[in-house]
Amino acid sequence: MKKRAFLLGLIYAFLFSSCASSMVPGEEIVVEKSASRKPSWILVPPRNTEEVLYFVGMATHAPSLEKGKEMARANAAAQVAQFFGTKVNYSYTSSYQYGTSSGEDDYVSAFTNVMASKMIKGLTLEDLYYEKVKYADVNGVVRVGYNVYALYSIGKTSFEKIADESISEVDEKFKSSGAYETMKARREALLKELDELLGR
């Protein structure tokens, strides 16, 4: 009897292993989710109002739900870069460096990096959706992770304060490096975009 049970266990293990290994790189299976369907705000965020701005952050294949929440929050903070026509890749563990070797765009990059890092504390979580998934990585190895989607808001008053603090911090960085004068034109254009966004 014990031998039969042992053999059945081996068979089940073999079948499970075979099914898992049959996944191809990029394939993903949802094994658990926080709601029956994805919220509409994932694809269509709420419209910004005169008082509030909205951001959607996401994380894919996070090793844990908590880490996924951290990554989604950091990703949402980085979305501020879209307002200024730049692409900034911000990760939760990033360390920011300021340079002057790339010309005027350095000012914008420094600003969006600083603002994204400050925005993390200013965001308010409005809603959260997650999926626990089984997926095959680029090498075909089957893993388990979390896809997390988070909707955040921030008042325009807080947004404006963070933006002004970021401008001051970046100004100091470039003044100390002696590159401030070469950045003035891009800085003024950035301030104009910011004023238009905030209606001031």
Which string of DSSP letters, residue by residue, matches 72-130?
HHHHHHHGGGGGGT------TT-------TTTTHHHHHHHHHHHHHHHHHH-EEEEEEE
Is 102's pLDDT higher than 90?
Answer: no
Average pLDDT on 42-57 reads 92
Cβ-based burial of 118 (10 A; exposed 0-12, middle 13-18, buried ≥19): middle
- As a whole number, the mean pLDDT across the chain is 79
What order of strands is seen across the sheet that includes strand 124-136? 28-33, 124-136, 142-155, 52-62
182 or 150: which carries more pLDDT confidence? 150
Can you give the pLDDT at residue 88? 36
CB 135, CB 142: distance < 8 Å: yes
Distance CA 162, CA 114 (A): 9
Average pLDDT on 185-195 reads 78
Q: Are strands 52-62 and 142-155 parallel, antiparallel or unpaired?
A: antiparallel
Is 45's pLDDT higher than 90?
Answer: yes
CB 42, CB 129: distance < 8 Å: yes
Q: Given phi > 0 = left and psi -120 to 50 = alpha, else beta, which region is 85? A: left
Q: How confident is the model at residue 96 (pLDDT cuts 50, 70, 90)?
A: very low
Can you give the pLDDT at residue 163? 87
Q: How confident is the model at residue 12 (pLDDT cuts 50, 70, 90)?
A: very low
Report field, pTM of the whole predicted structure over 0.75? no
Crossing angle for the helix pair 105-122 and 180-198, to the nearest 10 degrees: 50
Is 99's pLDDT higher than 60?
Answer: no
Can you give the pLDDT at residue 20? 46
Is 171's pLDDT higher than 60?
Answer: yes
For residue range 116-142, list pLDDT tens digits in order.
888 888 899 999 999 999 999 988 999
Hey, which residues does 147 pair with through a beta bridge? Answer: 131
Of 164, 200, 189, nearest to 86 (Cα)? 189
Q: Half-sphere exposure of 157 toward its Cβ, with a 13 Å CA cutoff?
A: 1
Average pLDDT on 155-160 reads 89
Q: So where are the chain's domains?
A: 24-198
Distance CA 6, CA 13 (A): 11
Q: Where are the beta strands (DSSP E) in 137-189?
A: 142-155
